[in-house]
Amino acid sequence: MHEANNKQNNKQTRMSIERVKEMIRTVPDFPKPGISFKDITPILQDPSAFKFVIKQMAVPFKNKEVDIIASAESRGFILGAALAYELGAGFVPLRKPGKLPYRTLREEYKLEYGTDAFEMHVDGIRKGDNVLIVDDVLATGGTMKAAVNLVRKLSGNIAGIALLIELDELNGRKKLKGIPVYSLLKI
């Protein structure tokens, strides 16, 4: 048992931002021609990389009061739930329309390849809750802007936005003026 723990600890100390960046798989023409999809599945499959990513994404928010993590469907759920656990916060899913069983609020948004919408339970955030919004990728900013709008509709305070990847060339951050945005990786 002791040997297994040492092996895991040595693997974690060798993990780095550059190593995590190398693990991202680019899938051309997905979900449609001209889009280069950033696949984080290899990071999620590697326990050391996944743990490293969550610990690193938590660092900027460790000393801030975060009551709730709100995460976008679906890869955002994976990161957001783990980050909520790490920060001792609650978790609220932002779901595609028709997926939540209780009364919801809805926010539509544009993607780089179409339009979509999120819904959140009307009691998902209480007035004054400090909310950290978490997702895997910031591209054009439409998804994050929709998440911000939903949180604000319920009178939540935006503590910040935490992302695994930010696609710099798409300038999604411009839509999020005045909100602290933390990206672990900029590509």
Q: Which residues are catalytic?
A: 75, 112
Q: Is the dihedral of CA 79, 83, 85, 88 positive or negative?
A: negative
Residue 175's Cα: distance from chain center in Å? 16
* DSSP code of residue 102: S
> Which phi and psi (to 5°) does residue 35 adopt?
-95, 135
Which ranges in the chain belong to alpha helices (H)? Answer: 2-14, 17-23, 41-45, 47-58, 75-87, 142-153
> Which phi and psi (to 5°) does residue 70 adopt?
-110, 125
Six-digit token pair at 172?
């999604």
As a whole number of angstroms, the longest Cα–Cα distance in the chain is: 51
